[in-house]
Structure 1
Amino acid sequence: MSAASVPLVTDIDGTLTNDEMILDPRVGTALRAWNGPVVLATGKVLPFPIALCNYLGLQRNVIAENGGVSFVESDDEVRLHGDRKAAQKVADAYVEAGYDLGWGTADLVNRWRETEIALAHDVPVEPLEAIAAEYGLEVVDTQYAYHVKAPDMSKGNALQSIAPRLGSDTDDFVAIGDSQNDVSTFERAGTAIAVANADEAAIEAADHVTDAAFADGFLDALDRVDAGKW
């Protein structure tokens, strides 16, 4: 890797994976070799990125629940940047209106969620958005799920909390992602890169777009940054 230490914040699903959300085995080697702090930022609950860091041999620097939760290994403190209560009211009203969250009885997607509620990507979204608006919340589409959350809760705002704890400014970061929930990190990072499979919002917010999709695009982005091309 290049001599300069460059902090990296990257999405997981659709960015470090293939189109079936299976982690590409090459990304672990690439992330361990990266010359700078690495932050994994996801819409999933905290145990997922923590476990991924453990298995990939990375420091546990993570943003979970679309910015609702953050953790930096060096200060050993889980920080919450949102509250699940209002999102739960939206979910309850949605169910009372005759809809379903889409995850089955166990609902492992929301079981450990602390600051938002996620719904399956095949549920009707328009009534969900209408109910969320009544509670002053928003619905974010990550391409894999719908997330009901506070408008001021985002990966980008969580990055602002994490960056100084890693000895960096947000504009020192390279950000890589694929969807609407990555736009806020793109807006704060010095270099924003969307992989080719990214949605329109992410592509419009990015400084660069890779030719390759999913993990192939992620690895290409790292190579280009390392070579000083981006």
Structure 2
Amino acid sequence: MKFKAIVADIDGTITCEKRELHLGAMKKIRSLKIPVVLATGNTLCYARTASRLIGLEGAVIAENGGAVTVRFDLQGTFEESLEECEKAYSFLSEYFKLTKLDPLYRKTEIALRRDFDLEKARALLKTQSLDIEMVDTKYAIHLKSTKINKGVGLQKLAGMMGLEAEDFVAIGDSENDVEMFEASGFGIAVANGDEKIKEAANYVTDASFGDGTVEAIEFLESNGWI
């Protein structure tokens, strides 16, 4: 078994607990001879900046799969899903005081501050005929299309790179990484990950956050898989 690339979540996976980039994980990632793609629920500009600071080529999956780009010098591609997200937002705003995060930069979904009753909001949303779901990444609540996820984004980006999604090892920590694990050839959850991602993982690290990513890569290297 040999993998050709790695796709890694950012916050909670290659960061420290307070969201700073983990220097050990950065050093380990830069030592690799295979492509490393960043995948995040955050905006495309955030993902591109993180990729640049790490020293990667700029291949990123952003907005939970809604936005992807393969290099810094290429425009991103965006799914047309924001309009229906806005309908869901308007409906839920009748019941909750919602705060949008980064509204000027998000093109395919709506991110909300985590200060309302998520389960009640999910139940209310189910009464509407909208293909929208709510995902908690532990950093924000995302109103997103049910047809878009990091797995879909990985399949799209892999094709742009001349690869298959199964050629990737996925590393993550949150429920929004589950579909990415399912699409990839092998999924590794860091120890601070939630139960959903650990259940989807092929391997769970003993270490948390960026230390977990270092452990994950060393595990792959020790098996000769990368």
Do Structure 1 and Structure 2 share a fold, with TM-score over 0.5? yes
Q: Write the deviation string for residues 117-147 of structure 1: whole angstroms up to 9, x where unpaired.
A: 1112232113321343312311111122111
Once the two structures are TM-superposed, the CA of residue 74 in structure 1 deviates from its matched residue by: 8.0
- Over the aligned positions, Cα root-mean-square deviation in angstroms equals 1.8
CA distance in 2, matches of 1:162, 1:68: 11
CA distance in 1, matches of 2:28, 2:115: 33
Maintained 8 Å contact 1:118/1:147: yes
Identity of aligned residues (%): 40
1:129 is aligned to 2:127: no
Q: Write the deviation string for residues 197-229 of structure 1: whole angstroms up to 9, x where unpaired.
A: 111110000000000111110110011101117
The normalised TM-score by structure 2 is 0.91
1:171 is aligned to 2:142: no
Q: Which of 189, 210, 221 is the equivalent residue of 2:216? A: 221
Report the residue type matching 1:101 in the other structure: L
1:40 is aligned to 2:27: no
Per the alignment, residue 192 of structure 2 pairs with 197
Per the alignment, residue 139 of structure 1 pairs with 134
Report the residue type matching 1:180 in the other structure: E
In structure 2, the CA distance between the partners of 1:196 and 1:60, relative to structure 1 (3 Å rule), is: same
CA distance in 2, matches of 1:77, 1:162: 13
Maintained 8 Å contact 1:70/1:79: yes
Once the two structures are TM-superposed, the CA of residue 110 in structure 1 deviates from its matched residue by: 2.6
Relative contact order, CA 8 A, sep 6+: which one is greater? 2
Q: Which of 97, 106, 113 is the equivalent residue of 2:106? A: 113
Maintained 8 Å contact 1:191/1:207: yes
CA distance in 1, matches of 2:201, 2:165: 15
Maintained 8 Å contact 1:118/1:148: yes
SS of match in other structure, 1:225: helix
Runs of 5+ consecutive residues of structure 2 not aligned to the other structure: none
Runs of 5+ consecutive residues of structure 1 not aligned to the other structure: none
Per the alignment, residue 150 of structure 1 pairs with 145
CA distance in 1, matches of 2:81, 2:16: 32
